Amino acid sequence: MANLRGPHLHTPLTLLSSDRDALSRVDPAMIAPGDDARYLVSRAGETAFQEAEDGSLQLALETADPRAGGTQPLVLLGVRDGLRILAVEILETSAEIDDPGRDLRDLRRIADQLDPADADLALTAVAMGAWHRSMRHCPLCGALLEAEVGGWVLRCRDDGSEHFPRTDAAVIMAVRDSEDRLLLARNANFRNRFYSVLAGFVEPGESLENAVAREVAEEVGITVEEVEYVGSQPWPFPRSLMLGYRAWVPGAVELTLQEDEIAEARWFTREELAAALEAEEIEIPNNASLGRALIDDWYGRSAEA
């Protein structure tokens, strides 16, 4: 296993400040209608927004229950300024989708533009919405599930089993060689010019550090000798928790690509990355992603500044 070391990197979606008020979830009154209830609508990774007077984006919190008699579960996100914030995931077949007064935007593209408290609520709404969309039947017996505990628990109608939200751990790593070059790769499923650092899911029975070493070896055929944990952030598309690492390999090593996974990969100096970005030969992740934070951390400032 590679050795662990290191200081912490502040990542873009970790400065979260909402009061989740988790102990109040057991109270059914917390998801009941009332003057102090506000509703945040999400749909398949999108969240409802509005533009403030200064042009900034903020969450659109509605005063009326948007379900219009539907059966979608409510999720208690927490309390803000004395108001209960309730998430509602709208399905594609719902009439509410065509509401001209609702501005639904892809959260992964705009999360870095949000106030931390808004980002916290939106990320949680999208993650819980994805869970409720995918968990409608008991995995043990197939019966319907009913939401309890403020939408944070699903109980089987038949066997009484409880089911809880799922988070998938994924490691993401900025790999450097002995010349302090950064490894960037284009996944086979990425658009043609999009490059990022390597990432992969943690397997059962595996430590995070071993996952870093395994993923790098599998995807580009090189051996990591040192890793350094730098921070984590939620990435609810649909349910990941990204755990960020710096990683080092000995010498300047050749790459052997996993063909069905990695379409292209190369080492970059800072000058080479700046030139490739200026020439629009490559694209890199936006500021909401931990991948971008790791690239900027190596570069020393924003790589696209």
Q: Give the tens place of pLDDT for each residue, 85-100.
A: 999 998 765 555 555 5
In the predicted model, is pLDDT for residue 278 greater than 90? yes
Asked if residue 257 and residue 159 are part of one domain, the reply reads: no
The answer to whether residue 142 is domain-embedded is yes
Asked if residue 291 and residue 209 are part of one domain, the reply reads: yes
Asked if residue 117 and residue 41 are part of one domain, the reply reads: yes
Asked if residue 125 and residue 150 are part of one domain, the reply reads: no
Asked if residue 172 and residue 159 are part of one domain, the reply reads: no
CATH code where residue 226 lies:
3.90.79.10
Asked if residue 196 and residue 176 are part of one domain, the reply reads: yes
Asked if residue 201 and residue 161 are part of one domain, the reply reads: no
Q: Which domain holds residue 148?
A: 136-165
How many domains does the chain fold into? 3
Asked if residue 228 and residue 292 are part of one domain, the reply reads: yes
Q: What's the confidence (pLDDT) of residue 17?
A: 63
**What does pTM read for this prediction?**
0.88
Asked if residue 73 and residue 27 are part of one domain, the reply reads: yes
Q: Give the tens place of pLDDT for each residue, 169-194.
A: 999 999 999 999 999 999 998 878 99
The answer to whether residue 196 is domain-embedded is yes
Q: Give the tens place of pLDDT for each residue, 198-231.
A: 999 999 999 999 999 999 999 999 999 999 999 9
Q: Tokens 């590679």 sit at which residue? A: 2
